[in-house]
Amino acid sequence: MSEIKSTNIHWHEGDIGRDERWKALGCRGCTVWFTGLSGSGKSTIASAVEQALVNQKVNCYRLDGDNVRFGLNKNLGFSADDRAENIRRIGEVAKLFADAGVLALTSFISPYRKDRDLVRQIHGEAKPSAIDFIEVYVDTPLEVCEQRDPKGLYKKARAGQIKGFTGIDDPYEAPDKPELVLKTDQLSVEQSVRQVLEMLAGRKLIELKK
Amino acid sequence: MSEIKSTNIHWHEGDIGRDERWKALGCRGCTVWFTGLSGSGKSTIASAVEQALVNQKVNCYRLDGDNVRFGLNKNLGFSADDRAENIRRIGEVAKLFADAGVLALTSFISPYRKDRDLVRQIHGEAKPSAIDFIEVYVDTPLEVCEQRDPKGLYKKARAGQIKGFTGIDDPYEAPDKPELVLKTDQLSVEQSVRQVLEMLAGRKLIELKK
């Protein structure tokens, strides 16, 4: 084995702690959980927030259907149990990212209050201390979502081709006390993004560059 | 809403890609998978590598029993199916971390070749392109592990108090072509860490500061 003459390799017994990691890397993790109806604009806004943060060199990562449904959660279907397990796993993974110092963004309908509250609880009970969980309610009226219908899903649900569709024949339970509400029928995407960034800055989770 | 006068908030249609993210953040993700018997030194080495990398400001994160078993995988037991699912989920999560630009370290016995090969495959088939999967075989003879027995588990397994214990009454299938083999009975922890770091540097996954 060739020798490295001089490196800054040091370690101590026991694992590296969250504070030590975040301080060394100059990062701060948390979970920003977007919830709302299909077509509400969750993914558009979350994606734009992600891009804005990456441009500001904030470590962040978005969990969404594309990277979760066909990977980690590909063995889950749409039964009540599987839907709950879907959200639970996403919550656990977001918590791991946040612990790692990554600002985790999640973009899922997550229609049931108890599932979201479980994820909040998981973050609150994280060891050695709670991790910030920020619930962003993308509050777009059903009529607006149905009019947008970007994937044609509402049309199929109304025609009875999709069963158990949130807002049509399955309930959406709005958050009681979300950290932020975005009324996307009254805001541009840019305005929504700014509200999210200002809220995060107000909570000292990011610094906004001026 | 108060206005931010000047920010570098920009976004484009569609999601941010892996290349764009890694370039903007100056990071590069991959998965470094430590496998070996209980007591082989996996966790000690992985933890020391993690600390060395954090000190060099490399975004990295270690998945291990502590943060996975009681969270994401707490609904899994020790049946053959559950053991396979345990490793599959860890592999999927490591892939997500790597995609995010984090150097993911995993420290699990992961005794079965087919389970590890599935994780390798998951990385190889990642979209839009393969993610590096580095298998590190912590090759410590059973006798040495059993002598160390840091958690007293071999003693219990020999006494029949634990069933299906890897190396005693359940097989450990050594990797066929691991990217690195560490013979910890012949290496100090520091030497093992250096071998890992040199291997990662040789693959351009990290830069070693001299």
Question: Domain-by-domain residue ranges, chain B?
Answer: 27-202
Contacts of B195 in chain A (CB under 8 A): 1
- Say yes or no: A159 contacts chain B, CB-CB below 8 A: no
Minimum distance, in Å, between the CA of residue B160 and any CA atom of chain A: 30
Contact: B210, A10; criterion CB under 8 Å: no
Nearest CA in chain A to B209: A7
Average pLDDT over residues A147-164: 94
> Average per-residue pLDDT in chain A?
92
Q: What are phi and psi of B119, to 5 degrees?
A: -65, -40
CA dihedral angle for residue B123, residue B125, residue B131, residue B134, rounded to 10 degrees? 40
Provide the pLDDT for residue B5. 36
pLDDT band for position A4 (cuts 50, 70, 90): very low
Contact: A47, B15; criterion CB under 8 Å: yes
Pick the CATH number of B27-202 from 3.40.710.10, 3.90.380.10, 3.40.50.300, 3.40.50.620: 3.40.50.300
A27-61 pLDDT tens trace? 999 999 999 999 999 999 999 999 999 999 999 99
Q: What is the DSSP string of A96-164?
A: HHHHHT-EEEEE-----HHHHHHHHHHHHT-SSS---EEEEEE---HHHHHHH-TTSHHHHHHTTSSSS
CA dist A174 and B187 (Å) reads 57
Provide the pLDDT for residue B155. 96
- Say yes or no: A188 contacts chain B, CB-CB below 8 A: no
CB B178 within 8 A of CB B135: yes
User: How many contacts (CB atoms, under 8 Å) link A and B?
Assistant: 166
C-alpha radius of gyration, chain A, whole number:
19
Provide the pLDDT for residue B12. 67
Q: Is residue A174 helix, strand or coil? A: coil
Contacts of A8 in chain B (CB under 8 A): 52, 55-56, 209
Which site among A6, A81, A95, A96 would you substitute to test the B interface, given the most B Cβ atoms closer than 10 Å to its Cβ?
A96
Contact: B89, A95; criterion CB under 8 Å: no
pLDDT along chain B (210 residues), means of 10: 42 82 95 97 96 94 91 91 96 98 97 97 96 98 96 95 94 97 95 96 88
CA dist B193 and B51 (Å) reads 10
- Say yes or no: B10 contacts chain A, CB-CB below 8 A: yes
B34-88 pLDDT tens trace? 999 999 999 999 999 999 999 999 999 999 988 899 999 999 988 889 999 999 9
Nearest CA in chain A to B1: A195
Of B4, B55, B100, the CB nearest to A208: B4
Contacts of A54 in chain B (CB under 8 A): 16, 20-21, 24-25
Minimum distance, in Å, between the CA of residue A104 and any CA atom of chain B: 10
Kindly list the distances between the CA atom of residue B38 and the CA atoms of A42, A107, B153, B164, B165, in Å, as whole numbers in the listed order: 44, 38, 8, 13, 9
Provide the pLDDT for residue A14. 72
Nearest CA in chain A to B195: A1
Nearest CA in chain A to B53: A9
Tokens of B131: 């993610």
- Say yes or no: B13 contacts chain A, CB-CB below 8 A: no
Phi-psi category of residue A164: left, alpha or beta, with phi > 0 → left and psi -120 to 50 → alpha: left
Question: Which residues are within 8 A (CB) of B35 and not within 5 positions of it... i.e. 6 or more apart?
Answer: B42, B108, B109, B110, B111, B116, B135, B136, B137, B138, B175, B178
pLDDT at A1 over 60: no
Return the CATH architecture of domain A26-202.
3-Layer(aba) Sandwich (3.40)
Its ipTM equals: 0.93
pTM of the model: 0.94
Contacts of A5 in chain B (CB under 8 A): 210
Rounded to 10°, the helix A80-100/B80-100 angle is 50
Contact: B93, A93; criterion CB under 8 Å: yes
- Say yes or no: B129 contacts chain A, CB-CB below 8 A: no
- Which positions 33-92 of B are in contact with A (Cβ < 8 Å)? 47-48, 50-52, 54-57, 59, 61-63, 66-68, 71-72, 75, 85, 89, 92
Contact: A102, B100; criterion CB under 8 Å: yes
pLDDT band for position A3 (cuts 50, 70, 90): very low
pLDDT band for position A65 (cuts 50, 70, 90): confident
